[in-house]
């Protein structure tokens, strides 16, 4: 069986989502060791325009499907199209983003196409003739390395911000149109409206920088000082479970085992003690800054840089000093 890889790319607002190039980066690494071609599938409104931006990335072909019925994501329509593409191309591996879409779509397509899926992987590589995926379990308190048994199509979803995105390598790539035969009647669950998150900041799971507040924030209004710092850095704002449970922040921005799992380049934890369940959501951040009054707070054991001090004093000073140099 050829080790051909299909990358399921994501399109948003006519542009290609960052995760797509990260998936191509991972696919290139695997195919360099295993042989086999890499194709990319793009589904939805703007797929063709987005495909144009991927033609110089060493892909064998880009498959686009942008029928009217696929304009907006729906599990059933996308699963039907993707499983068709997978069956037709006899792919050995299918890489998806561990995103809202990938998490919803992956297992459904896997079931449709009699495959096997590894969710939320942080690394993927060839070991001999086997493709090994590394993934966290128990919210990152342990990791497993896992391989498929037999040769079913292997779906692997990879977390954003974990693999270096592919760089253009020149050359061109043909774009193929996939005509789907999905009809509107086949979609039983359909998105009728989208409510954007307030504030216009980047999403926690995609942000390069995150500023998070804990119980020590004392009040909802005090998040303003974190927002000032975040705006300066183009960062997302998060909160610990303690802060959410105390009503200081909405559950949508909770970071931790029962909130968002994040992996930014820079994570600034303000007044967060570092409970196990919080660390589980952010421990893989590249650089962690901890600001806390308590020198014994467990967050300092995971942090790269720490300041012992009152966040209400330290954070505004940090914002001021950063503003001078940025």
Partner 1 sequence: MKILALLKRVPDTEAKILINQEGTGIKDEGIKYVINTYDEYAVEEGLRLKEKMGAASTVTVVCVGPEEATELIRTALAMGADDAVHVCDKALERPDPFVIAAVMAKAIKAEGFDIIFCGKQAIDDDMGQVQSILAEMLDIPQVNVATAFEIAADAKRATVRRRVEGGDEKVETSLPAIISCEKGLNDPRYASLPGIMKAKKKEIRKKTLADLGFSESPGEARSTILRWLPPAKSSGCTMVKAEEMRDAAKELVRLLREEAKVV
**Site for partner 1, residues 23 to 52, rule: CB under 8 A:** none
Tell the smallest beta-carbon distance from residue 219 to partner 1 (Å).
20
Q: Is 184 in the site for partner 1 (CB under 8 A)?
A: no
Neighbour-count burial of 19, counting CB atoms closer than 10 A to its CB (0-12 exposed, 13-18 middle, 19+ buried): buried
Rg of the chain over all Cα atoms, to the nearest angstrom: 21
Beta-carbon contacts of 23 under 8 Å, excluding residues fewer than 6 positions away, are: 7, 8, 9, 95, 96, 97, 158, 163
Q: Is 197 in the site for partner 1 (CB under 8 A)?
A: yes
Q: Is 87 in the site for partner 1 (CB under 8 A)?
A: no
Stretch that binds partner 1, among 51-59, 166-174, 220-228, 305-313 (CB under 8 A): 305-313
How are beta strands 11-12 and 154-158 bridged, if at all?
unpaired
Which residues inside 269-288 make contact with partner 1, applying CB under 8 A?
A: 275-277, 280, 283, 286-287
> CA 79 to CA 194: how far, in whole Å?
21
Q: Is 294 in the site for partner 1 (CB under 8 A)?
A: no
Q: Count other Cβ atoms within 10 Å, centred on residue 281.
A: 26
Tell the smallest beta-carbon distance from residue 94 to partner 1 (Å).
14
Joined tokens for residue 131: 């493709």
Which of 1, 179, 221, 326 touches partner 1 by CB under 8 A? 326
Q: Is 303 in the site for partner 1 (CB under 8 A)?
A: yes
**Helix locations, 234-310, DSSP H:** 241-245, 276-282, 299-302
> CA 317 to CA 307: how far, in whole Å?
12
> CA 206 to CA 99: how far, in whole Å?
9
Q: Is 143 in the site for partner 1 (CB under 8 A)?
A: yes
If the CB atoms of residues 173 and 240 are measured against partner 1, the closer one turns out to be 240
Tell the smallest beta-carbon distance from residue 42 to partner 1 (Å).
17
Q: Is 247 in the site for partner 1 (CB under 8 A)?
A: no
The CA-atom distances, in angstroms, between 33 and each of 36, 83, 127, 129, 253 are: 9, 26, 9, 9, 39
Q: Is 164 in the site for partner 1 (CB under 8 A)?
A: no
If the CB atoms of residues 6 and 79 are measured against partner 1, the closer one turns out to be 79
Joined tokens for residue 311: 């966040």
Stretch that binds partner 1, among 33-41, 62-70, 147-155, 214-222 (CB under 8 A): 147-155
Strand partners, 123: 134
157 in Cβ contact with 118 (< 8 Å): yes
Tell the smallest beta-carbon distance from residue 309 to partner 1 (Å).
6
Q: Is 159 in the site for partner 1 (CB under 8 A)?
A: no
The contact mask relative to partner 1 for 90-129 (x = CB under 8 A, - = no) is: ---------xxx-xx-xxx-xxx---xxxxx------x--
Stretch that binds partner 1, among 44-52, 84-92, 204-212, 220-228 (CB under 8 A): 204-212
> CA 27 to CA 39: how far, in whole Å?
9
Tell the smallest beta-carbon distance from residue 167 to partner 1 (Å).
19
- Geometric angle at alpha carbon 30, from 129 and 126, rounded to 5°: 35
Q: Is 215 in the site for partner 1 (CB under 8 A)?
A: no
Q: Is 221 in the site for partner 1 (CB under 8 A)?
A: no
Q: Is 222 in the site for partner 1 (CB under 8 A)?
A: no
Tell the smallest beta-carbon distance from residue 122 to partner 1 (Å).
10
Neighbour-count burial of 183, counting CB atoms closer than 10 A to its CB (0-12 exposed, 13-18 middle, 19+ buried): exposed
């Amino acid at each position: 069986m050829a080790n051909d890889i299909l990358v399921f790319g994501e399109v948003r607002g006519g542009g290609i989502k960052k995760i797509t190039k990260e998936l191509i980066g991972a696919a290139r690494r695997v195919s360099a060791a295993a042989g086999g071609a890499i194709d990319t599938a793009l589904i939805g409104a703007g797929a063709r325009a987005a495909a144009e931006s991927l033609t110089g990335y060493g892909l064998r072909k880009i498959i686009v499907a942008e029928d009217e019925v696929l304009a907006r994501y729906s599990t059933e329509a996308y699963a039907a199209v993707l499983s068709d593409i997978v069956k037709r191309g006899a792919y050995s591996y299918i890489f998806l983003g561990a995103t809202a879409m990938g998490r919803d779509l992956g297992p459904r397509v896997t079931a449709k196409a009699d495959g096997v899926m590894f969710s939320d992987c942080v690394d993927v590589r060839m070991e001999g003739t086997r493709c090994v995926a590394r993934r966290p379990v128990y919210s990152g308190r342990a990791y497993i390395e896992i391989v498929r048994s037999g040769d079913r199509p292997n779906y692997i979803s990879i977390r954003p911000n974990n693999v270096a995105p592919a760089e253009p390598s020149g050359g061109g790539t043909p774009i193929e149109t996939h005509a789907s035969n999905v009809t509107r009647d086949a979609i039983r669950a359909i998105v009728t409206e989208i409510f954007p998150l307030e504030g216009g900041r980047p999403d926690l799971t995609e942000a390069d920088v995150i500023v998070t507040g804990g119980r020590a924030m004392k009040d909802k209004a005090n998040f303003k000082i974190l927002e000032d710092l975040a705006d300066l850095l183009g960062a997302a704002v998060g909160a610990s479970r303690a802060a959410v449970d105390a009503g200081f922040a909405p559950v949508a921005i909770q970071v931790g085992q029962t909130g968002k799992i994040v992996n930014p380049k820079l994570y600034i934890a303000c007044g967060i003690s570092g409970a196990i369940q919080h660390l589980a959501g952010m421990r893989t951040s590249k650089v962690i800054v901890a600001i806390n009054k308590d020198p014994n707070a467990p967050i300092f054991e995971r942090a790269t840089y720490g300041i012992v001090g009152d966040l209400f004093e330290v954070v505004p000073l940090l914002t001021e000093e950063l503003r001078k140099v940025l």
